[in-house]
């Protein structure tokens, strides 16, 4: 019996077939290879990501600006913050806290009118200037209505999830009352 097992192992090794007890080590290799491929894709960034044509990008950005206005008036800061690429947005945690406080404490009416659109670049970046008007009132009813008017500059970048905001200038426009 032992001779037969030794012969089978010998044939298995010659043919390149791993025995069951040695195959346990090989099972992890495909998982490691898949993980390496995912890591390589993450490292590549937006280099291999096809950017939509400029006309389509402009339509998408105009739609996103309207959705951004609606999200600002909505009840959830998460909806507004979902437009932002938190990894590339400088000092995102502070901005996130400011938006959560603004939308928790104040009722908001907003109107955005696009003043200028820079055509999207071949690298998947775009810039938009918005004339923003906002009326703020405390939800607890204390105080008067505050009105703000300012031009906001929004920097966009095309990602795997579509167009995402990577910067808003000035950010103090969203300061709570």
Domain covering 54-174 in this structure, CATH number: 3.10.450.50
Answering whether pTM is above 0.75, one says no
Which 3-state string (H, E, C) describes 41-53? HHHHCCCCCCCCC
Would you give per-residue pLDDT tens digits along the chain (177 residues)? 555 555 555 545 445 544 444 444 444 445 555 445 444 444 445 556 777 788 888 899 999 999 999 999 988 899 999 999 999 999 999 999 999 999 999 999 999 999 998 888 878 899 999 999 999 999 887 778 999 999 999 999 999 999 999 999 999 999 988
Q: In Å, what is the CA distance from 159 to each residue of 42, 88, 100, 122, 162?
A: 12, 11, 25, 13, 5
Centre a 10 Å sphere on the Cβ of residue 130 and count the other Cβ atoms it contains: 21
């Amino acid at each position: 019996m032992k001779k037969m097992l030794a012969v089978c192992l010998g044939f298995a090794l010659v043919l390149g077939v791993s025995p069951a007890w040695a195959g346990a080590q090989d099972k992890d290799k495909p998982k490691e290879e898949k993980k390496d491929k995912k890591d390589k894709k993450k490292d590549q960034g937006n280099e291999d990501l096809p950017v939509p044509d400029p006309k389509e990008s402009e339509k998408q950005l105009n739609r996103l600006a309207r959705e951004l206005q609606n999200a600002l008036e909505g009840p959830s800061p998460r909806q507004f913050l979902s437009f932002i690429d938190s990894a590339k947005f400088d000092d995102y945690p502070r901005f996130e806290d400011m938006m959560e406080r603004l939308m928790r404490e104040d009722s908001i009416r907003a109107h955005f009118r696009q003043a200028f659109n820079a055509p999207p670049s071949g690298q998947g970046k775009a810039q938009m200037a918005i004339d923003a008007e906002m009326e703020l009132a405390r939800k607890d009813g204390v105080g008067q209505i505050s009105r703000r008017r300012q031009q906001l500059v929004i920097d966009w970048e095309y990602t795997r999830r579509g167009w995402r905001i990577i910067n808003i200038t000035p950010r103090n426009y969203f300061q709570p009352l």
